[in-house]
Amino acid sequence: MTDLNPAFTPNWASPPGDTIADVLKERGWTQAELAKRLGYSETHVSQLINGKASLTEDTAFRLESVLGSTAAFWLRREAFYRGRRQRER
């Protein structure tokens, strides 16, 4: 019998910033607005979204507070992304 619900294991990873950008779009927020809500510079938020800045535990808790996802979700996204990038090198 064929497994109709195989575990999804992608061979690619997108930065957590892709998810952040999606939420911003859904809410109609700018990066500047998110930066203000998080207490970060616009440059730092841009770097987070583009995968150039690592998402720290502090950032994960700030995102949890502002965007509503859990800090654990953000930290898992970051770990998976950075791990995948490391394996690609």
Three-state DSSP class for residue 16: helix
Distances (CA, A) of 51 to 32, 48, 70: 17, 5, 19
pLDDT 10s digits, 42-89: 999 999 999 999 999 999 999 999 998 999 999 999 999 988 888 777
pLDDT in tens, 4-55: 656 656 566 789 999 999 999 999 999 999 999 999 999 999 999 999 999 9
Domains belonging to the chain, first-starting first, are 16-88 (1.10.260.40)
Question: Mapping DSSP to helix (H, G, I), strand (E, B) and coil, where does residue 81 land?
Answer: helix
Q: Which residues contact 72 (CB under 8 A, 6 or more apart)?
A: 60
Query: In sequence order, what are the residues at sequence separation of 6 or more whose Cβ sits closer than 8 angstroms to the Cβ of residue 2?
Result: none
pLDDT band for position 3 (cuts 50, 70, 90): low
Please give the C-alpha separations between residue 56 and each of 2, 21, 25, in angstroms, as whole numbers: 41, 17, 23
* pTM (whole model) above 0.95: no
